[in-house]
């Protein structure tokens, strides 16, 4: 897994002799530090649950319990676990793309491809920071099943489950403007989830760059759908 992570870092533009090498080698150090401070035996490279990786990344973030260690060596450890969490989400996408390849009918236009890329980046960031962005929730199911959750041949961007109550939260992502049409989309997802999980509380949230007034009006008809606007922060890291 270490070599795979290093290869991914190189593929996104980090220098093989610089940050790619530094971050991949930092993960075992993080495993040792985390194990010593939680009285456990943790090998981050062996973890298969995105929720656990996301929680560890949160622990070394600015607001986490191990933030001081995270910022050592010019924030090397914080940046390393953050990147690893993103990498782990991307591995799940690759598996889904191979499964969906047979369903492709025609190539997408360039604007659609660009929009898809932006939403994929947004999805990666969100899934790698679940513990921070949605306290009390985790990604639904095993093996990251809730990422691009498949239901009745439809894919929900992210399906979360409340750790204590078991309530389900469908997350719909839009990189640009979300208008009233997105309300119909997420309403369909909620209906499908309600049919499949009749004993669970079901709700949804739309996360977008801009919320159109028409979507706000549509959401006045129900308390099951909330609206959120995302803000991307700028961070610098060594190349």
**Residue labelled with tokens 């319990």:** 65
Is pLDDT of 53 > 50?
yes
Cα 190 to Cα 58, 59, 170, distances in angstroms: 29, 32, 7
Instruction: Tell me the mean pLDDT in the region 148-173.
Output: 95
Q: Alpha helix (H) ranges present in 128-179?
A: 130-133
Alpha-carbon radius of gyration of the chain: 19
Query: Domains of the chain (ranges plus CATH)?
Result: 1-105 (no CATH), 108-239 (3.40.1350.10)
Residue 150 has pLDDT above 90, yes or no: yes
Confidence class of residue 61 from pLDDT cuts 50, 70 and 90? confident
Q: Is the pLDDT of residue 102 over 90?
A: no
> 15-19, 91-95, 110-114, 165-169: lowest mean pLDDT where?
110-114
- Per-residue pLDDT of 164-192, as tens digits, reads 999 999 999 998 899 999 999 999 999 99
DSSP string, 6-40: HHHHHHTT--TTTHHHHHHHHHHHHHHHHHHHHTS
pLDDT at residue 103 in the model: 47
pLDDT > 70? residue 100 = no
Mean of pLDDT values over 87-110? 58
Q: Tell me: pLDDT of 121 over 90.
A: no
Does the predicted TM-score (pTM) go above 0.85?
A: no
Beta carbons within 8 Å of 20's beta carbon, 6+ residues apart: 6, 9, 10, 14
What is the phi/psi pair of residue 180, to 5°?
-60, -25
Helices (H), ranges, 130-230: 130-133, 180-196, 213-219
């Amino acid at each position: 897994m270490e070599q795979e992570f290093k290869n991914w870092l190189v593929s996104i533009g980090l220098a093989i002799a610089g940050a790619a090498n530094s971050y991949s080698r930092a993960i075992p150090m993080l495993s040792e530090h985390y194990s010593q401070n939680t009285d456990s035996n943790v090998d981050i490279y062996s973890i298969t649950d995105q929720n656990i990786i996301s929680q560890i990344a949160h622990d070394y973030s600015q607001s986490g319990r191990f933030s001081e260690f995270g910022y050592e060596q010019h924030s090397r450890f914080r940046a390393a676990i953050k990147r690893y969490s993103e990498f782990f989400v991307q591995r799940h996408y690759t598996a889904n793309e191979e499964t969906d390849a047979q369903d492709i009918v025609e190539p997408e236009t360039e604007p659609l491809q660009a929009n898809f890329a932006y939403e994929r980046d947004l999805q990666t960031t969100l899934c790698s920071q679940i513990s921070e962005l949605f306290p009390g929730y985790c990604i639904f199911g095993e093996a990251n099943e809730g990422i691009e959750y498949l239901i009745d041949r439809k894919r929900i961007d992210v399906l979360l489950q409340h750790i204590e109550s078991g309530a389900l939260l469908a997350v719909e992502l839009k990189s640009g403007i979300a208008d009233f049409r997105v309300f119909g989309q997420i309403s369909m997802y909620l209906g499908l989830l309600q049919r499949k999980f009749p004993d669970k509380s079901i709700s949804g949230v739309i996360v977008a760059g801009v919320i159109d007034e028409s979507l706000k009006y549509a959401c006045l008809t129900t308390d099951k759908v909330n609206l959120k606007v995302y803000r991307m922060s700028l961070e610098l890291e060594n190349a």
